[in-house]
Structure 1
Amino acid sequence: MGGTVDWIDPMIGEFQRSGGNHPRFGRDLVLLHGTGARSGEPRSHLTRGIAFRAGWVVAATFGGNPRNPAWVNNLRTHPDIDVEVPLPGAGIAIHRVRAVELDGPEREAARQRFRTVSPVFAQFEAGVDRLIPIFHLVVRG
């Protein structure tokens, strides 16, 4: 789990031990396993993930922080990653995906999906002076 912030390591452990049913966030999280943009080291990031078309979407809200989380640059630099996602009943599946940053109508469709599924998304969006990056995690062959 290298390269994570100290407080996130226990959350990642809870996510994995619970089979994707996190005690606080339920089955709404995904675990991104990628590569650091500058370091080239393995990085793991836990974030909200929503099923979307042939994969999932993740939004870099960073809890309403005025800057992007580090995983944004990691995905921009190294878009081919593994993602752990909760299965419908129980357990976790690991998929190889390509992270595609959305713009235009595709971004707007994903943005509206986030606003519908996660009302706090609108609060985070209103509280920052940046366009929150949204990535589509497309399952690869």
Structure 2
Amino acid sequence: MAEDFNSRVIREFRENDGKVGEPFTGLPMILVHHVGARSGTERVTPLRWFADGDSYVIVASKAGAPDNPAWYHNLKANPDTVVEVSDGAGGAETVQVRTTELTGADRDRVWTRIKDDNEVFAGYERKTDRTIPLLALTPR
């Protein structure tokens, strides 16, 4: 089912110049290209993104699951990648990025802002014992 949902979001993003429907209508979206850390298989994952300076920050919440999503491990293993990014209002661009994980005070600052503005992410944090990673995708 997740594959069908992700495929639909990717198709909508590409067919509508970066705009997608429910549950992401009008939200900033990013299609993250990543290579399997073990398999070497190329994949694309649609995610919300949050601005932090020049970086696009993505949240490895996996909806509050006890483990990190596969794309997190893939980006850690292969941090230089490509994203298709849109602010949600229309107009997508392809950008070469380098992935870094936010830690310490930087992570806390961004995570507090994300949770304050998006109750769904605060809910994911309540569902898990792990620290939810934040990855900054910075244009190269």
Are residue 37 (structure 1) and residue 59 (structure 2) matched? no
Secondary structure at the residue paired with 2:63? Answer: helix
Instruction: Return closer, same or farther for 1:55/1:7 CA change in 2, 3 Å cut-off.
Output: same
- Matched residue, 2:103: 103
Kindly report which structure 2 residues correspond to 1:58-97, keeping only aligned pairs within 5 A, or say none.
58-87=58-87, 89-97=89-97
Instruction: Return closer, same or farther for 1:14/1:126 CA change in 2, 3 Å cut-off.
Output: same
**2:80–2:98: 8 Å Cα contact kept in structure 1?**
yes
Matches of 1:116 and 1:139 in 2, distance apart?
26
**2:66–2:129: 8 Å Cα contact kept in structure 1?**
yes
What is the CA distance between 1:61 and its match in structure 2? Answer: 0.9
Matches of 2:27 and 2:14 in 1, distance apart?
11
> TM-score, normalising length from structure 1?
0.89
Secondary structure at the residue paired with 1:108? Answer: helix
Q: Gaps (5+ residues) in structure 2?
A: none
> TM-score, normalising length from structure 2?
0.90
Equivalent residue letter for 2:80: D
Q: Deviations over 1:3-43 (max 9, x none)?
A: x8343112211121121111110232211012111111211
Mean Cα deviation higher: 53-62 or 111-120: 111-120
**2:81–2:97: 8 Å Cα contact kept in structure 1?**
yes
Q: Which has the higher helix share?
A: 2
What is the CA distance between 1:66 and its match in structure 2? Answer: 2.0
Matches of 2:88 and 2:44 in 1, distance apart?
22
Instruction: Return closer, same or farther for 1:124/1:87 CA change in 2, 3 Å cut-off.
Output: closer
**2:37–2:78: 8 Å Cα contact kept in structure 1?**
yes
Q: Gaps (5+ residues) in structure 1?
A: none
Aligned-pair RMSD on alpha carbons? Answer: 1.6
Matches of 1:129 and 1:117 in 2, distance apart?
21
Secondary structure at the residue paired with 2:3? Answer: coil
Matches of 1:21 and 1:65 in 2, distance apart?
27
Secondary structure at the residue paired with 1:5? Answer: helix
